[in-house]
Amino acid sequence: MIIEEIVNIVICYNNASEVMEYYSEILSLDEGKNIGYVVVINSSSEDEQRQLEQFGKDNENVYVFNPGKNLGYMNGLLLGYRRYRDLTGNLPKYIIMSNTDIAFEDKAFAAKLLSRNYDSNVALIGPSILVSELNSYDNPVSDDRYTVKQLNKVIRTHNTPAIREFYVTASFLKPKFIKRKKDFTSRNVYELHGCFFILTSEYAEILKTLNFGVLLYSEETFVAENAYRNGLKAYYDADLEVVHKEHSTTSKLKPTRRAKLIAESMTWIRDTYFVDGEIK
């Protein structure tokens, strides 16, 4: 039996083919055969469910869990980690939580990660993220913790009908014209991009006891804020890099629906963790 030092947890939301294709991407890594792959089915057709169940049977390192309902992105990922721990008893060194529209141009990615010796207070790690279709980079998202004023501005913007659709649409168009260059400075930050982040086992054990209070969006702030509350750090590692192909199912949401979910999630973050800019 392989002792998996890295586990990658993903969500299936009516995209079983992409979920299985992403595992091929993981297997292309130098350490790919030693990486566990956890799939949580938030939504699928009966045919997709059968495909994924067979996929799990055919691959020793693949674990497929079906909670029977849509838990949302973050709660689905957390359920996947809990179920994996309960089933295997294994405590991996690193837990990747990611979209399935990810590619690895650097086939030594996993080997590099395992060779790292991060400070003991590092809870989560984010790589450089190349958005392939835009030739632009994500990460880090924010060096500094947000203020209540900043959160309220986001909430108002996404709650105001006259501007929310324009704002959401503009946020997609902006990267097409303003390219973000790669940040080559590895450092402690506050928030990392939610499409691909890495938890240490110690931090994953903290997060698995929590519940994310909304369906979608602001997952990266939830992860960042709970690290902050526990005196831990997020670390941007510029020497690690993944490619984001941006085929995620959330990108198919209409602007009005997206704006509503963003406002709801950020309101929950504010009300749960912030009072006058301080931790509750």
Q: In the beta sheet, which residues pair with residue 279?
A: 274
CB 191 within 8 A of CB 220: yes
Low-confidence ranges of the chain (pLDDT < 50): none
CA-to-CA separations, 267 to 150, 263, 273, in angstroms, rounded:
12, 6, 10
How high is the pLDDT of residue 248? 53
**pLDDT for position 120:** 97
Where do we find the tokens 């890295």?
Answer: 6
Closest CA to 262 of 203, 194, 209: 194
Residue 3, judged by CB atoms within 10 A of its CB (0-12, 13-18, 19+), counts as: exposed
pLDDT of residue 164: 62
Which token pair is 273?
């963790």
**Cβ atoms of 6 and 36 closer than 8 Å:** yes
